[in-house]
Amino acid sequence: MEERPGDERPQLPPPSLWPVGFAVGIVCLLVGLVISWPVAAVGAAIALVFGFLWARDVTRGHPEAAETSALPADQGPPAMPESEPAERFPRSRFLEGATLGLGALIGAIVTLPAAGFALLPGFLKQKQHKVDLGPISDFEENKWKVVTFARDPTNANISRRTAFVRNNGLLNGVPSFTIISNRCAHVGCPVQPGGPVFQKEEKTIKTANGEVLLTPVLPAAGFICPCHGGSYDQEGNRIAGPPVRGLDRYEFDIVNGRLILGDLYSVVKVEGSGKTARIKKVELHGPGQHADGPESWLYPLQPPH
Ligand code: FES
């Protein structure tokens, strides 16, 4: 049908890739919150860049529309009559920008507090309980003990943990200890010492953190997991079975001659043994998580324990 002067054609916005890029950035950000901070940062950067370009287009107007109005009269729709000059800031553009801006603001007000309350507490540094394991004189040099203690003395019944502790003797005049968690690095079953446990020599001591149970043990064959056959050497390195890394370890301090247990950390590898061992440590990983290599990027972020 032939166009006649005076016909009005709606000025639709030209198709734009900015909203698509913005959506991709948001998806990347949400996926990153589950798997890793670098992915979340890339997603946030993509969302910011495309969001900015999108907002700039919306607030600046549609270039094609401007081009159309600049065409000669015989190549496009007629210009507005002289008596009605075109609006410099059309109301439609203002309403479009205001709708998007208000939508974004309301979305942020509704979602950010809920997301913050739901996600942040797990990732904020939580206070770790130091645990007094008693005087170091209770740990004979180069002997292993199975030590059972309450991580949180106010919730002793549900926070009992077990660690394998060996006094390595002095290193540069300072007592050295190896303290290995009994949580299997596969799916978290309690590993057992590969050797005799001397129950009759068991000793209970009272500390500021409640009762601590010390049981001498001789893990000559390292540590073995009864669930799926995971096997570790005496330094906690994985030597067989499904675990993807070695056993976690505890930090420790010596305070007034007492052994104080600190935070848990994960271990990529231990070279050497005892007080001269070189430990490649990383922040605490969950059961089943690789501690190094590309696979380690694929696991959910780990809240502090
Ligand atoms: S939980 Fe230890 S090997 Fe599976």
DSSP letters spanning 77-130: SPPPPTTSPPPSS-HHHHHHHHHHHHHHHHHHHHHHHHHHHHHHHHHSPPPPPP
What is the reported pLDDT for 73?
A: 46
**pLDDT tens per residue across span 211-257:** 999 999 999 899 999 999 999 999 999 999 999 999 999 999 999 99
Ligand 1 pocket, residues with Cβ under 6 angstroms:
184, 186-187, 189, 225, 227-230, 241-243
Question: Residue 1: what pLDDT?
Answer: 46
Strand order in the sheet with 192-193: 192-193, 223-224, 231-232, 238-240
Counting ligand 1 atoms within 8 A of each CB, the residue from 181, 182, 183, 186 with the most, and so the one to mutate, is: 186
The three-state secondary structure class of 272 is: coil
* Phi, psi values for residue 28, rounded to 5°: -60, -40
pLDDT of residue 152: 84
- Output DSSP code: residue 14: P
183 Cα to the center of ligand 1, angstroms? 9
Reduced to 3 states (helix: H, G, I; strand: E, B; else coil), residue 163 is strand
At 153, which amino acid appears? P
Cα(264) to ligand 1 centroid in Å equals 19
Distance 286 CA to ligand 1 centre (A): 13
| Mode of pairing for the β-strands spanning 258-271 and 278-282 | antiparallel
Distance between CA atoms of 156 and 197, rounded to whole angstroms?
Answer: 24
- Residue 57 burial (CB < 10 Å; 0-12/13-18/19+)? middle
Q: Give distance in angstroms: CA of 194 to centre of ligand 1.
A: 15
Read off the pLDDT of residues 155-167 as tens digits, 9 standing for 90 and up: 888 889 999 999 9
Nearest atom in ligand 1 to 189's CA? 1
Among 181, 183, 187, say which to mutate for ligand 1: greatest number of ligand atoms within 8 Å of CB.
187
Other Cβ atoms less than 10 A from the Cβ of 212: the count is 22
Parts of the chain with a pLDDT under 70: 1-14, 61-89, 122-128, 299-305
The ligand 1 atom nearest the CA atom of 287: 1
What is residue 15's predicted lDDT score, i.e. its pLDDT?
72
- What DSSP character marks residue 189? P
Both tokens of 95, joined, read 């309403």
Q: Is 302 left (phi over 0), alpha (psi -120 to 50) or beta?
A: beta
Nearest CA to ligand 1 atom 4: 228
Pocket test for ligand 1, best of 191, 225, 232, 247 (most atoms within 8 A of CB): 225
